[in-house]
Structure 1
Amino acid sequence: MKFAIALGLCAVSLAACSTEPTEADTAPDPDAQAEADAPSEPRTLVAADFGELELGARIEGPVGPEVEASIVVDGRSIGDIVSYVACPAEYDECDPEDLPEGTVYTYVHTIRPGVDAPNDPPFTRPVGLDEVLAATLFSTTRTASGFNGAIGYDRDQATAALGPDGEIRVQDDNGTLAWRVIGGDGWETGEPITVFWQSTLPPEGPAEAYSLRADEKIAMATGPFPPKQDDGS
């Protein structure tokens, strides 16, 4: 009888032990963790035509309704950028302090490679200007806070600059936005292309938050940009 009880206790003990996690079960999987921490691939978005947008009044920022600045690398300019932020079409005045939370603001940027008009104060003029043979990418360098998914470019301008085979692919790259030239005969000196994106946040002010890639150079550009959100974006 004692022998039977001992066997039963042994079986119970073994069953209990079999339900406990082993060291192999609890050890982290480095491959799975690396995959979770890795940034996701850029997400291609549907590009709207800027020419079909109806916009309202523009925000009057610290330098006026438009911000004009140089696109600069190593102290030299490779282009010019003119930016503004507009309210929805129903507003004939655009003061974010008077508008409800969630109002959609349209950020508009016209980029001209290889051309540089005089800048608005307080932006200084670069020491020189370089022509551009092929600009390939315009992007934000920070997370586009409040981005609502609406993005695009002026298709007529893009066709004029790139030719009928040209296309601009718009992408969300882990929170930053990108307009990438695909095909065509090149985005060259003096050819303007207007791009836009929308946010539910008004601009905090001009910021060096944009970039243009051209002729194997990466140049920085200043334009209106929304503030960082509480989550750090």
Structure 2
Amino acid sequence: MSPKHLVLQNYVTRSESIKSKVANLKWQEGVSYFFSQNIPITSGAINPIQLANLMKPIFDNNTGQPKTHIYEMGAGIGLLSKQLLDVIQEQLPQIKDQLTWHVTDYTEELVQAMHSTQLFKSYKKTVQIEALDMASFQCSPNQSPSVVIMSYLADSFPARHIEVKNGEIYEYQVQSSLKSNEKIVDTSVFPPEILTADHIIQKVKSEALFKTTA
């Protein structure tokens, strides 16, 4: 007989699900998360030389302006911005003093990590490292972006799964459950503790983060 499934959380928008909330917590690890989860941290398919050349007409059009503001949203550890600045320094040195480069991320942990690595030490006059939430981004008119770079960012926004059927709009929602015979080992305590399904549910319900749990 198949084990019964116990409900951890009733149907909610995907971004409010337990899985999504746990995934978002992982960013608190800071820089190490990029390595433990094999997240691309180099330019990969994004060629910084090609990207700099695409941006060159914008720089040319802004000649004579006080500053050209470039924003990288969700910069992570800032490597793409660093590579772009290196290319500009080498190939377009005449525009370096024209730039204010905003290297931003949503999490304070990653922002602090960028400060601590001194990655932008040679660009102190050009780079501003900032915590910034793309979903509520605002800036003063004199800091309006000429270029916004979002690499691997849009797919991390909270999403709703929508279907249109017979002229009606429906949202697919997510229910979280686990098997009644499920067990996990809690290594956050010593000695490690074996948690049964009932214990797991109790722990999840006790966490403020999961206040919508059933």
TM-score w.r.t. the length of structure 1 is 0.28
Structure having the higher Rg: 1
Q: For CA contacts below 8 A with separation 6 or more, give which structure has more relative contact order.
A: 2
TM-score by length of 2: 0.30
